[in-house]
């Protein structure tokens, strides 16, 4: 299985258009490599390197596809004038940074989108991307991720994405928050946010991806105990970082995000598991781990924890 990091930043990306924090200023300065640019969070996965599932559709999707040749069809073979290697889309939530890209793909519809009922509801009513997009070739074909009925093993049903062979997805409901425009804001229910255990059915190799999680739970820990690679939420270094820096009145918890540091942080969680790859993603522009000269970055390096970058390829075989 191959995993492409299309975007590793949180909402706003790095640099964020109106932000002049230390990181955003450094990212605008091309003469140093302290902080590199990052687009908003998204992955693509494939078992054969030809057919890809897009995991979350970021507002930066156009740029992400244009800089990722793996997602372009081989026209010498197909003779088609238009097309894509993206065969379906899986959403973990209904946040702007994970769904706005659906509007960017209007020229290539119809396309399948896999999401929970709650996410479908948010993206039909509060942020009505599904109904709007129906005006382009019928729009998206929504496929349900069922987290309400359980399979024989007591977990939610796994699913596959049509035309993606050899990859199975296991949805895991997470503690997080719903987006500000959702009726579930501050009263989240299962289905607002899921993590995905993604398994290569031939090699058995697996990754757990959770870009929006505020706190671990038994199912998350069961997944982390089984997989080879974790790609986890690292929005803020500390919960009140945006308030302390004068950037926003929101804590990480308010937005449904875990911190990197601290006893209940993502590093403490990762340190309990023996994994081939420990990767942090969905990193806010205020987070000091973006600065490769920072003590926080060195702290992660010493623990073999990798700060995701756009364009990173993870091969599990
Ligand atoms: C964002 O991306 O702006 C977040 O949704 C903010 C939030 O959850 O408060
Ligand atoms: Mn986000
Ligand atoms: Zn900034």
**pLDDT number for residue 270:** 98
What is the CA(180)–ligand 1 centre distance, in A?
Answer: 6
Closest ligand 1 atom to residue 97 Cα is: 2
Per-position pLDDT tens, the chain of length 317? 999 999 999 999 999 999 999 999 999 997 778 999 999 999 999 999 999 999 999 999 999 999 999 999 988 877 878 999 999 999 999 999 999 999 999 999 999 999 999 999 999 999 999 999 999 999 999 999 999 999 998 889 999 999 999 999 999 999 999 999 999 999 999 999 999 999 999 999 999 999 999 999 999 999 999 999 999 999 999 999 999 999 999 999 999 999 999 999 999 999 999 999 999 999 999 999 999 999 999 999 999 999 999 999 999 99
Q: How crowded is residue 258: how many other Cβ atoms within 10 Å of its Cβ?
A: 28
Give the closest residue (by CA) to ligand 1 atom 2.
11
**pLDDT number for residue 79:** 80
Write the CA distances from 306 to 201, 229, 285, integer angstroms. 26, 11, 17
**pLDDT number for residue 109:** 98
What is the CA(214)–ligand 1 centre distance, in A?
Answer: 13
Best residue among 10, 60, 101, 179 to mutate for probing ligand 1's pocket (most ligand atoms within 8 Å of CB) is 179
**pLDDT number for residue 33:** 81
Q: Full-prediction pTM beyond 0.75?
A: yes
CB within 8 Å of 263: residues ≥ 6 apart: none
**pLDDT number for residue 31:** 78
CA geometry: angle 108, 110, 113, nearest 5 deg = 105
Nearest to 14 by CA among 78, 97, 88: 97
The residues whose Cβ lies within 5 A of ligand 2, an ion, are: 10-11, 95, 97
CA geometry: angle 256, 311, 13, nearest 5 deg = 40
Closest ligand 1 atom to residue 254 Cα is: 9
**pLDDT number for residue 75:** 83
Nearest to 268 by CA among 209, 221, 198: 221
Q: Which residue has the tokens 């945006």?
A: 242
Write phi, then psi, for 17 (nearest 5 degrees).
-50, -35
CA–CA separation, 240 and 282 (whole Å): 17
Closest ligand 1 atom to residue 12 Cα is: 2
What is the CA(105)–ligand 2 centre distance, in A?
Answer: 20
Ligand nearest to the CA of 98: 2
Cβ distance 182 to 162 under 8 Å? no
What is the CA(74)–ligand 2 centre distance, in A?
Answer: 33
Ligand nearest to the CA of 21: 3
CA geometry: angle 265, 298, 37, nearest 5 deg = 85
The DSSP-derived string for 62-130 is HHHHHT-GGGS--HHHH--SS--SEEEEE-S---HHHHTHHHHTGGG--EEEEE-HHHHHHTTTTS-HH
What is the CA(58)–ligand 2 centre distance, in A?
Answer: 10
Write the CA distances from 114 to 23, 132, 160, integer angstroms. 34, 17, 9
Write the CA distances from 31 to 9, 117, 126, 162, integer angstroms. 21, 47, 42, 45
* Numbers of helices and strands, H then E, in the chain: 12, 13
**pLDDT number for residue 298:** 98
Q: Is 141 helix (H, G, I), strand (E, B) or coil?
A: strand
Write phi, then psi, for 233 (nearest 5 degrees).
-50, 125
Structure tokens at 168: 């199975």
Structure tokens at 149: 């009925």
Ligand 1, pocket residues at CB < 6 Å: 11, 95-97, 179-180, 250, 255
**pLDDT number for residue 164:** 97
């Amino acid at each position: 299985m191959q995993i492409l990091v299309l975007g590793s930043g949180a909402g706003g990306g790095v640099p964020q258009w109106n932000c002049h924090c230390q990181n955003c200023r450094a990212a605008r300065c091309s003469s140093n490599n302290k902080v590199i640019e990052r687009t908003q969070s998204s992955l693509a996965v494939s078992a054969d390197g030809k057919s890809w599932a897009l995991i979350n559709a970021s507002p930066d999707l156009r740029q992400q596809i244009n800089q990722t040749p793996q997602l372009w069809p081989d026209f010498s073979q197909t003779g088609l004038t238009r097309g894509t290697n993206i065969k379906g889309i899986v959403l973990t939530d209904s946040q702007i940074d994970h769904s706005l890209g659906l509007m960017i793909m209007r020229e290539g519809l119809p396309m399948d989108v896999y999401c929970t009922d709650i996410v479908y509801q948010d993206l039909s009513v509060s942020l009505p991307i599904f109904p709007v997009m129906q005006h382009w070739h019928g729009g998206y074909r929504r496929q349900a991720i069922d987290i309400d009925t359980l399979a024989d093993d007591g977990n939610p049903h796994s699913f596959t994405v049509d035309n993606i062979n050899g990859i199975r997805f296991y949805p895991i409901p997470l503690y997080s928050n719903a987006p500000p425009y959702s009726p579930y804001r501050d009263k989240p229910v299962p289905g607002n946010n899921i993590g995905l255990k993604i398994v290569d059915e031939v090699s058995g190799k697996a990754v757990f991806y959770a870009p929006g999680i505020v706190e671990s739970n038994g199912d998350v820990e069961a997944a982390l105990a089984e997989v080879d690679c974790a790609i986890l939420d690292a929005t803020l270094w500390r919960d009140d970082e945006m308030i302390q820096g004068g950037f926003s009145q929101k804590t990480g918890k308010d937005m449904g995000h875990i911190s990197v540091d601290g006893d209940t942080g993502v590093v403490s969680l990762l340190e309990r598991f023996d994994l081939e790859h420990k990767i942090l993603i969905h990193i806010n522009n205020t987070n000091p781990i973006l600065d490769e000269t920072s003590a926080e970055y060195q702290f992660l390096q010493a623990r073999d924890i990798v700060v995701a970058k756009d364009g990173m390829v993870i091969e599990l075989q």
